Amino acid sequence: MDKKLYFDANATARIRPEVISLVVEVMGEVGNASSPHSFGREARKRIETARRQVAATLNVDAQQVIFNSGATEGNTTVFKGFEGKRILASAIEHPSIMDCGVALETIPVTSDGVVDLDAFKKMLSSGPSPALVSVMTANNETGVIQPVAEIAKLAKDAGAMVHSDAVQGYGRFAFTRESLGVDFLTLSAHKIGGPQGVGAMVIAPGVTPYKLLQGGGQERRQRGGTENVAGIAGFGLAAEMACSSFEKFQSLGALRDRIEVHFQTSPRVTVYGANVPRTANTSFMTIKGVPNDTLLMAFDLEGVAVSAGSACSSGSTRLSNVLGAMGVVSDPLLASLRISLGINTTEKEVEELCAIWDKLRARLLKE
């Protein structure tokens, strides 16, 4: 194996060099942002700069941004706040929602992986008004962009509050909290070239979020715990950089399409979500005739990082729950494959991936 190829940016994206420099610089400083002395005030400045940076990308006031440890925490916080009430969430939400321990009803999706608006309207008109409706901005496996603004309007008319897990859409295409019409947005830094273990919950004016972590008075008493100052500073810079270069991200679409055209020369390959708007870096396909783990391992042995779906289900032999929701029937000889490009993925890397696929295809599928 001469070179490693990373095609798993939806699991975690490569951190931006400028972000690394800033994080290292801030880690070299000392000071708890809650301390009133000058060291503490410098740490506080770092956090407030990042808060303004993230707020600007979503056109919200800085006070509407609450930093946390990432989207798993953000999603859990939102859902815990509605525990025991009627919650509707799309059937393709991330495991951090599906498995957060709060009961919810799932809204079906079409075979293209888009929330089924007719089914959603029926759910709204049957039973009590939901307290919360949650639909992700873009799906982590298929990249399919969801009609969040439309869903939010219907949900609001029915008296519900609205949440969108924006992890896979943020920094990739343009939207604001207001353009989506939601009360809560949850974000994660490590999908946009920021550090792992940091994210934010963005709230609409006047919304009081559930307090998951009690204790300290940090984040305006909304999230206890000493802030990850270096991580937050890195997130702020990554957010600013990602949201000022959407065209760069869009340009990945041509590389992604090149991969799909090449992989689909095999009749055993089916690509999902290609007929609907998708994030430019993501391709999700199934391959008939090979088990999931065999395919992933074969790519790994060639030095290629891809996944079977969400990072949490990678390596699992079960069919991804997203494909299940899209009506794909589980089969031990049906592998799912997510290829997700990063902003620095090159044409040469794409050609290398295609060549490796040709080799694996001959060996595993005898084609």
- The residues carrying an active-site annotation are 312
**Nearest distance in Å: CB 295, ligand PLP:** 21
Residue 93 Cα distances to 109, 150, 170, 294, angstroms: 11, 17, 16, 26
Find the binding residues for ligand PLP in span 121-140 (CB under 6 A): 136, 140
* 226 C-beta neighbours (distance < 10 Å), count: 11
> Stretches 162-170, 177-185, 240-248, 265-273: which one binds ligand PLP (CB under 6 A)?
162-170
Which amino acid type is present at position 31? G
> Which C-beta is closer to ligand PLP: that of 31 or that of 231?
231
> Stretches 19-27, 143-151, 163-171, 278-286: which one binds ligand PLP (CB under 6 A)?
163-171
Q: Is 57 in the site for ligand PLP (CB under 6 A)?
A: no
Nearest-angstrom CA–CA distance, 219 and 210: 13
Task: Name which of 205, 195, 157 is nearest 58 in CA terms.
Answer: 205
**Nearest distance in Å: CB 261, ligand PLP:** 26
Residue nearest to ligand PLP (CB): 70
Q: Is 70 in the site for ligand PLP (CB under 6 A)?
A: yes
Q: Is 321 in the site for ligand PLP (CB under 6 A)?
A: no
Nearest-angstrom CA–CA distance, 162 and 19: 32
> Which C-beta is closer to ligand PLP: that of 218 or that of 340?
340
> Which C-beta is closer to ligand PLP: that of 53 or that of 72?
72
H helix runs in the chain, sequence order: 17-27, 38-58, 71-80, 95-98, 117-125, 148-157, 177-180, 218-221, 229-243, 246-250, 252-263, 292-301, 321-325, 347-364
Interface positions with ligand PLP (CB under 6 A): 70-72, 94, 96, 136, 140, 165, 167-168, 188, 199, 311
